[in-house]
Amino acid sequence: MISIITPVYNGEKYIEACIKAVINQNCPDAEHIIVDGASTDKTVEIIKLYADIYPHIRWISEKDKGQPDAMNKGIAMAKGEIISFLNVDDFYQPNVLNRVLEIFPNLPVPSILVGNCNLWDGEDKLVAVHKPVNFRLSSMLQGLNEKNYPTNPSAYFYHTSLHRQVGLYKLDEHYAMDLDFLLRAVQVSKVKYINETWGNWMRTETTKSMTLWQSPERGYEMLDRILRYYRKDLPLLQRWLVGIKYEFQVIWNRNLKWKMRYYTDTYLKKPTNILPKLNSKLAKFMTS
């Protein structure tokens, strides 16, 4: 069974379409878990209306500590062996859930199954189709792009048991909780890419990701922090090679303003940091 988890707060504009998106999949082996964060609009009223009719809908409504907390609550409620997250304003392509259930029995445990994702703008215009054919740790750590990172959870599915190995979503990672989880998950799971379009990401102005990237520097600094954290566990030579490729991508994409500020704040404004950092790198080199 697939457990589809939808975290929502004050989503009356989208929640009905989201519920119908799962119903229209006509998948008998799916449950839809809706975790509401004590909405103050008509979200709960709409959820109740459909939950009274469709037994595959299970839901709770209570205050939480943000989206990662709501996601973790959904995981705790899940009865399925497979998990999918469907954000309230996103949707699946037709018959995706049944297609996923055809593939999973042939995959080792744990696995991540990923397809392509349509990217739509706020005016329902198709902007791009992301095809994460290179979805693996070494590629992601060199810098994210549409070929190595599943940008929306409507296009990927994974074994629920994966959380027993890598943990849940981090409560303090409010914007990139999915990236942080996937960087952990790809290290212990089998990744299976299928060249079929499964998900639809509605990139509207009110979404958290769009709000974050209204300030590109803020967005790039967040990505840099997470990728740098996971690069540190690579073998020394690989870490250097991946780091060089990543820095080249930054220069190639002309995202220099925030990067120069990072180096200024790290090495020039705080010169006492330089010697400990160099000593640490030298120690690691001598013992590797």
Query: Who wins on pLDDT, 256 or 115?
Result: 115
Give the per-residue pLDDT at 284: 55
Q: Global pTM? A: 0.85
Residue 100 has pLDDT above 60, yes or no: yes
Phi-psi region for residue 96, left (φ > 0), alpha (ψ -120 to 50) or beta? Answer: alpha
Whether 152 is in a domain gets the answer: yes
For the segment 87-112, the average pLDDT, to the nearest whole number, is 97
Whether 73 is in a domain gets the answer: yes
For the segment 163-171, the average pLDDT, to the nearest whole number, is 97
For residue 200, what is the domain's CATH number? 3.90.550.10
Query: Who wins on pLDDT, 82 or 223?
Result: 82
What percentage of residues in the chain have a pLDDT greater than 70?
81
Among 204, 227, 261, identify where a domain stops. 204
Residue 27 confidence class, pLDDT cut points 50, 70, 90: very high
Instruction: Please check whether residues 84 and 59 belong to one and the same domain.
Output: yes
Residue 244 confidence class, pLDDT cut points 50, 70, 90: confident
For the segment 266-273, the average pLDDT, to the nearest whole number, is 52
Owning domain of residue 259: 216-287
Taking CA atoms, 192 is separated from 86, 114, 186, 201, 283, in Å, by 20, 6, 11, 20, 38
Among 183, 204, 225, identify where a domain stops. 204
Instruction: Please check whether residues 229 and 162 belong to one and the same domain.
Output: no
Residue 276 confidence class, pLDDT cut points 50, 70, 90: low
